[in-house]
Amino acid sequence: MPASYETHRRQLELILRAWGMPEATAVSTAEIMSWADLHGIDTHGISMVPSYDERRRAGRIDMRAQPVVARQTPVSALIDGGGGLGHANARRAMELAIEKAKTVGIGVAAVRNSAHFGACGFYALMAVEAGLIGMVTTSASGIQVSPTFGAQARLGTDPIAFAAPGLPDQPFLLDMATTTVAAGKIRNKANENLPTPPGWLVTKDGSPSTDPREVSKGGFMTPLGGTPEGSSHKGYGLGAMVNILSSALSGATMVTDPMHTKKPGTMDIGHFLLALDPGLFRDAADFRADVAAFCETLRATKPADPARPVLVAGDPERRTAAQRRQSGIPVGKNLLAKVREVALASGAEWIMDR
């Protein structure tokens, strides 16, 4: 039976605390992870627990680390994550970006020495909740994507998020991998022993594959677009842009560096977070009204199939969140068993079956 949002969030907090994460950081991190699951981003919440556990036991993530401001100006901040999990690092970075944008109109923060931080959209939404535009990117730990025309993995899923305020509680919120699909969706298929749809993966010789374990056998994920004929060069270019903003700007290890994720005691993932006040350019209320009208016009587009109305970025996730607040957050049987095993081995109380 699906667990309530509060039980789901509390279970994650208990596991993080058992791993040695300070209480306030565990509460914040559990909130961000549960936000992803609540909104149907099942690749970035509780499904990450087995991976996080493996990395912390291998000494690649310091669960006790706290973000430190290494450098800042009136418009910028550089955060050193101390080798910790990325959620607290990114949240602190966006808090600083928002604070600066509220003062001078724009705030930009970069993070180095971090790790996986969950769903980009959470941090972009922080800016929207402050009345600002938000943009977030992050480098990835896994090198699983071959550039267009390549036969060697060079990039990760390299996600990007962009958010802008419009109608109350209905911001434009784009949160996407620069690959055809997020790696976590492939992992979730593997957890439940299900095939992937065509187009997500190719074998090491470039042939289509529906095996969710293809990457472990030498195959690759595809850039957004899937094939050169489908304009995969666009996804490839976006992935490269994300790495420049996230890693080259912060000083984190570049994804193409042989030492990527291999430095002692840290994954050294980089993040980029921007907050922008539309009031720099015009009346902020007028900006929000234009965004709201624009999105409403898009939603009013005549659908090709009346059963599938036109949506705007953020709509599907909000609908899922409303449903899951009522019915609970589902977790696949095999994944739940893995998380339970990790929790009990870590000494955490197990409450998901209550």
Q: Per-residue pLDDT tens for 250-307?
A: 999 999 999 999 999 999 999 999 999 999 999 999 999 999 999 999 999 999 999 9
Is residue 308 domain-resident?
no
As a whole number, mean pLDDT of residues 24-28 equals 98
Residues 87 and 129 in one domain: yes
Residues 250 and 132 in one domain: yes
Domain CATH code at residue 28: 1.10.1530.10
Domain CATH code at residue 228: 3.30.1370.60
Residues 335 and 242 in one domain: no
Per-residue pLDDT reduced to its tens digit, 178-190:
999 888 788 888 8
What was the pLDDT predicted at 192? 84
Measure the CA–CA gap between 55 and 136, rounded to whole angstroms. 24
Q: Quick one: which of 352, 157, 151 has its CA closest to 242? A: 157
Residues 47 and 85 in one domain: no
Residues 113 and 234 in one domain: yes
What was the pLDDT predicted at 199? 84
More confident residue, 148 or 76: 76
Measure the CA–CA gap between 173 and 131, rounded to whole angstroms. 13
Is residue 204 domain-resident?
no
Measure the CA–CA gap between 33 and 30, rounded to whole angstroms. 5
Evaluate whether 76 touches 250 at the Cβ level (below 8 Å).
no
As a whole number, mean pLDDT of residues 61-88 equals 98
Is residue 16 domain-resident?
yes
**Lowest-confidence segment of 17-21, 81-85, 101-105, 194-198 by average pLDDT:** 194-198
- Helical packing angle, 23-38 and 86-104, nearest 10°: 90
Within 13 A of 164's CA, how many CA atoms are on the CB side? 18
Query: Tokens standing for 225?
Result: 């677009």
More confident residue, 229 or 255: 255
pTM (whole model) above 0.85: yes
- With cut-offs at 50, 70 and 90, classify the pLDDT of residue 206: confident
More confident residue, 312 or 215: 312
Local structure of 181: helix, strand or coil: coil
What was the pLDDT predicted at 315? 98
Residues 90 and 232 in one domain: yes
Domain final residue pick, 281, 303, 320: 281
Domain final residue pick, 244, 261, 281: 281
Residues 140 and 255 in one domain: yes
Is residue 135 domain-resident?
yes
Q: Over pLDDT 70: what percentage of the chain? A: 100
Is residue 197 domain-resident?
no
Spatial neighbors of 342 by CB under 8 A, at least 6 apart, are 15, 49, 50, 53
Residues 140 and 170 in one domain: yes
Residues 77 and 156 in one domain: yes
Q: Quick one: which of 25, 33, 134, 127 has its CA closest to 81? A: 25
Residues 20 and 167 in one domain: no
Is residue 203 domain-resident?
no
Evaluate whether 137 touches 159 at the Cβ level (below 8 Å).
yes
Q: How many Cβ atoms sit within 10 Å of the Cβ of residue 337? A: 12
Domain extent, residue 41, equals 1-58+329-354
Residue type, 29: T
Q: How many domains does the chain have?
A: 2
Measure the CA–CA gap between 237 and 234, rounded to whole angstroms. 5
Measure the CA–CA gap between 130 and 206, rounded to whole angstroms. 45
Compute CA distances 160 → 119, 129, 175, 246, whole Å: 9, 18, 6, 10
Compute CA distances 105 → 84, 101, 135, 341, whole Å: 30, 4, 14, 48
Is residue 260 domain-resident?
yes
Residues 152 and 232 in one domain: yes
As a whole number, mean pLDDT of residues 37-59 equals 96
As a whole number, mean pLDDT of residues 76-96 equals 98
What was the pLDDT predicted at 151? 83
Residues 233 and 353 in one domain: no
Residue 318 has pLDDT above 90, yes or no: yes
- pLDDT, mean over the chain: 95
Residue 1 has pLDDT above 80, yes or no: no
Is residue 116 domain-resident?
yes
Q: Quick one: which of 161, 106, 159 has its CA closest to 130? A: 106
